[in-house]
């Protein structure tokens, strides 16, 4: 009988490329480090893309708000011109100013109510 072990799962065949446990862990460490570095770079890229998207959205939003403000000013000027024929220029300007201030106060009161509701919800 021969003293050689049979080919089983417990004794895999090696073709002269035996690697020590230390070398295996060193390779595992190097691969893990490379993977971590690649993941960091991937997350940096994702953050850069998200940052650019937020920046572009903010720019477009600011431009839209500026145009909306210009449209509101134009509407108010048109109201003054339309009302000046009926009640005179000074009274028309005062009426439009008073209406705009009234709407602004109502909107601020609504905003205050929303903030109060939010704070009440957070505390409970």
Residue 10 lies in a domain: no
Percent of the chain with pLDDT over 70: 85
Taking only the tens place, the pLDDT of each residue in 33-87 is: 999 999 999 999 998 888 888 999 999 999 999 999 999 999 999 999 999 999 9
- Reply yes or no on whether the pLDDT at 16 is more than 60: no
- pLDDT for res 121: 85
Residue 14 lies in a domain: no
| Gap between the Cα atoms of 24 and 48, Å rounded | 36
Q: 30: how many CB neighbours lie within 10 A of its CB?
A: 10
**Enclosing domain of residue 102:** 21-123
Tell me the two tokens of residue 35: 């993977």
Please tell me the total count of domains within the chain.
1
Question: Confidence band (pLDDT; 50, 70, 90) for 5?
Answer: low
| Residue 60 maps to a domain | yes
Residue 84 exposed, middle or buried by CB count within 10 Å (0-12, 13-18, 19+): middle
Judge whether 93 lies within some domain: yes
Q: Is the pLDDT of residue 116 over 70?
A: yes
């Amino acid at each position: 009988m021969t003293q050689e072990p049979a080919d089983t799962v417990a004794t895999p065949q090696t073709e002269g490329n035996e690697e020590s446990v230390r070398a295996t862990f060193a390779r595992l460490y190097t691969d893990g480090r490379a993977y971590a570095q690649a993941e960091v770079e991937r997350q940096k890229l994702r953050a850069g893309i998200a940052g650019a998207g937020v920046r572009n959205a903010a720019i477009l939003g600011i431009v839209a708000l500026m145009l909306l403000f210009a449209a509101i000013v134009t509407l108010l000027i048109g109201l003054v011109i339309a009302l000046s024929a009926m009640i005179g220029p000074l009274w028309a300007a005062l009426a439009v100013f008073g209406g705009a201030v009234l709407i602004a106060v109502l909107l601020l009161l609504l905003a205050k109510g929303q903030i109060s509701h939010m704070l009440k919800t957070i505390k409970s």
